[in-house]
Amino acid sequence: MSKKYFGTDGIRGKVGEYPITADFLLKLGWAIGRVFAEEGNGFVLVGKDTRISGYMFESALQAGLSAAGVDTHLLGPMPTPAIAYLTRTLRASAGIVISASHNPYYDNGIKIFSTEGTKLPDELEYKIEEYLDKSVTTVESALLGKAKRIEDAAGRYIEFCKSTIPSTLSLRGLKIVVDCANGATYHIAPHVLEELGAEVIKVAVKPDGVNINENCGATKPQSVIKKVLKHKADLGITLDGDGDRLIMVDHKGEIVDGDELIFIIAKSRLRQGTQKGPVVGTLMSNLGMEHGLEKLGLGFVRANVGDRYVIEKLKEHGGMLGGESSGHIICLDRISTGDGIVAALQVLTEMQQSGDSLHKLKQGMQKYPQVLINVKVARKVNPLEIPAIQKAVTIVEEALGREGRVLLRASGTEPLIRVMVEGSDKEKVAKHAKALAEEVENSISA
């Protein structure tokens, strides 16, 4: 049964357009409250990133929760992983995040964490949707939910981040550029690094409600590259608007993406003797990471795109490390969800313990050239069900052998077929991708 409102990562859209409206969020707060009131007494945490609409939606959710008779503890601007962590440690019934992650300020969304700090189970999302189709009712006045602010939320999370690396480890001697995307980590990430002894050069730490992710953050690391080179820094750390995504930059100004960072952390865990189970990537993870892990003797499993599916595979296979090339990195031995600051600290730990630069650490994995072509289509179709496309894919796969990979998939949000070819030879990869894209276009048109 498909869901009416919830996608793979909560509910998201443009502010002012249904369902990202004040009246819907009030009703959503009430529906969440009714479901968790059924689960037992308790309170719900509400946190947000720095976009201006967060004020409106925070109030709307709190009003709805109150009408359902549930208390609200407000965290203010906090990274998404911090809300997951605090939901678990404060023993809240649930945690609500008001954020649209790396999207522009005019978008917003809602994510919900369970009391364990994990994504909400499907059965509870279905229950919430059932209430969304009912009329809002208000409990008797004496039973209305109350609200209060958690004043020390940032301090609690800063201490948690520091606890994810050895207590004896110091970052003294490291000069680090950190870009907080004018988002939820602006008052967290610089403090974590400074308290651990690093010299920190701050970028995009002055949110004004509309500058979140604007020409900054993990999706636009150019400003960090310039700062690293200008200040001769050891590295750069760039996070997205809600702090669950990480991209790093080495001292030469070269980007180190999620696949490379996962490889570095896996190698570090292997050296320490703490790596358990296979590493989990996605269908888009670079083949170079798979081959690099193979050389280390580590297993590798691919999940569908999305951190939710990565976590599912990790739990299924008894793994603890996984993520996406986009920078969602999950260290289940540290926290229950993707966390940019925690992932960065694991990489910094390996740098300090090994004595190697970030540039040298990433050399252990050789990225393969990857070409992605989006083919516009007029109708929804599975390209691999068309015999001519199947034949074309087989020909390319045979030509590439173990040194390459083909992926064709329909976009879940746009009328596109994504054609991805990866291999050791850049020119051959580009040629094969172009030929496959033409075959997809011609076959679907026919």
Q: Which residues are catalytic?
A: 101
Q: What span, in angstroms and rounded, lies between the C-alpha atoms of 10 and 114?
A: 13
Q: Which residue has the tokens 């948690």?
A: 160
Burial 214-229 (b: 16+ CB within 10 A, else e): eebbbbbbebbbebbe
Helix (H, G, I), strand (E, B) or coil at 349: helix
Dmax of the chain from CA atoms? Answer: 72
The dihedral sign for the CA sequence 325, 9, 409, 103? negative
Q: What are phi and psi of 113, to 5 degrees?
A: -105, 145
Q: Are strands 416-423 and 404-410 parallel, antiparallel or unpaired?
A: antiparallel
Q: What span, in angstroms and rounded, lies between the C-alpha atoms of 26 and 424?
A: 52
Q: Which residue has the tokens 């009329």?
A: 135
Cα–Cα distances (Å) from 97 to 21, 216, 352, in that order, read 16, 22, 34
Q: What span, in angstroms and rounded, lies between the C-alpha atoms of 301 and 278?
A: 7
Beta strands in 292-446, from DSSP E residues, in sequence order:
300-303, 321-323, 329-331, 370-376, 404-410, 416-423
In the sheet that holds 199-203, the strands lie side by side as 199-203, 175-179, 235-239, 246-250, 255-256
Peptide bond into 207 cis (omega under 30): no
Q: What span, in angstroms and rounded, lies between the C-alpha atoms of 233 and 202?
A: 12
Q: What span, in angstroms and rounded, lies between the C-alpha atoms of 188 and 158?
A: 6
Neighbour count for residue 438 (Cβ, 10 Å) = 14
Q: What span, in angstroms and rounded, lies between the C-alpha atoms of 129 and 133?
A: 7
Beta strands in 50-174, from DSSP E residues, in sequence order:
71-77, 94-98, 107-113, 147-149
